[in-house]
Amino acid sequence: MEDFRSGFVGIFGKPNAGKSTLMNALLGEKLAIVSPKAQTTRNKILGILHENNYQIIFSDTPGILESRYKLHEKMMKEVSAVKQGTDVVLFITDPKEKPEEVMEIISNLTIKTPLILVTNTSDKIKPDAAASLVQTYKRQKTIDQVALISALQKQNLDHLLQQIIHFLPIMPPYYDEDTLTDKPMRFFVAEMIREKLFFELDEELPYHAAVIVRQYEEKNTLTKIVADIVVSRDTQKFILIGKGGSMIKKIGQLSREDIEKFIDRKVFLELHVKVRKDWRNNDLYLKEYGY
């Protein structure tokens, strides 16, 4: 136990950079929802990696953006909250992002802990382009290490872990071995439902939706879950329900399958669609919906 290392690692970056994919890959467990659209993650989520000689407490965060709604402000507050307590920062970038812009975001974050610049989606660029990008980042004074990975294809993650561990203090574990996260089951259930909206609905609608689990009850043979999907406008409710209820039925079915896998139990899932006008700018609603 003498050499045990343990610490908090914040995962930051622009929307859609692959932060949630990376945390899931490092944990070997799908905790955070992932979608091809930006601004999928809205809350900070802890994911704890337990190994024989180290414990890493990762925090996935919402992608850094300029706030246009109160919801965005809340999301950026989650980013600041994680920043407070980290030992190491991972800043995730896509190779398409311009290094000058990346450096500007990093400079605005004013990070005081060691920073590892993680170039993700290595599977999508040519090796020589990747190598030159890595060199560019290595020259930056504020960057302590550079990693080139593919979170999706789980490439080079062991090396990244070694780079992280190097910066962790010698410290006993903060959490006991069976703790994987800080969020309750209801949160993950709501997120799994919200994830389906990003895949099944076009454009703007997922950004106007919040999911709230109203009932979570373990019965003898199954778990009964009742959840509300809240949208901002009547027209969105209409689309979400679909022709003869076809869309909401599909979302319910896909969500139920995912939730059953996650909790390893049969699930009865009931979904209700509600309209709360402009909830993304309403403090009371935001609070009620967990933001």
Ligand X SMILES: Nc1nc2c(ncn2[C@@H]2O[C@H](COP(=O)(O)OP(=O)(O)OP(=O)(O)O)[C@@H](O)[C@H]2O)c(=O)[nH]1
Looking at 1, 2, 28, 36, which residue binds ligand X (CB under 6 A)? Answer: 36
Can residue 119 be called a binding residue for ligand X (CB under 6 A)? no
Q: Tokens 């799908």, residue?
A: 30
Can residue 121 be called a binding residue for Mg ion (CB under 5 A)? no
Looking at 4, 15, 161, 175, which residue binds ligand X (CB under 6 A)? Answer: 15
CA quadruple 177, 181, 183, 188: dihedral, nearest 10:
-110
Can residue 59 be called a binding residue for Mg ion (CB under 5 A)? no
Which does residue 223 bind out of ligand X, Mg ion, none, counting CB within 5 to 8 angstroms by kind? none
Angle at CA 261, nearest 5°, toward 258 and 266?
Answer: 95
DSSP for 199-262 reads: HHS-TTGGGG-EEEEEEEEE-SS-EEEEEEEEESSHHHHHHHH-GGGHHHHHHHHHHHHHHHHH
Q: 181-206: b or e for each residue (b if 16 or more CB lie within 10 Å)?
A: bebebbbbbbbbbbbbbbebbeeebb
**Alpha-carbon gap, residue 187 to 252, rounded angstroms:** 16
Of all residues in the shown chain, the one whose CB is closest to ligand X is 63
Q: Which is nearer to ligand X, 56 or 273 (CB)?
A: 56
Span from 104-112, 145-153, 171-179, 228-236 in contact with ligand X (CB under 6 A): 145-153
Can residue 35 be called a binding residue for ligand X (CB under 6 A)? yes
Least separation, in Å, of the C-beta of 121 and ligand X?
4
Looking at 6, 20, 55, 93, which residue binds ligand X (CB under 6 A)? Answer: 20
Span from 43-51, 150-158, 166-174, 226-234 in contact with ligand X (CB under 6 A): 150-158
Whether residue 255 contacts residue 191, with contact meaning beta carbons closer than 8 Å, is answered with no
Which does residue 160 bind out of Mg ion, ligand X, none, counting CB within 5 to 8 angstroms by kind? none
Q: Across-strand partners of 57?
A: 8, 48
Looking at 5, 19, 30, 72, which residue binds ligand X (CB under 6 A)? Answer: 19
Span from 36-44, 200-208, 210-218, 263-271 in contact with ligand X (CB under 6 A): 36-44
Say how many residues touch ligand X, by CB under 6 A.
Answer: 25
DSSP symbol at 290: T
Can residue 273 be called a binding residue for ligand X (CB under 6 A)? no
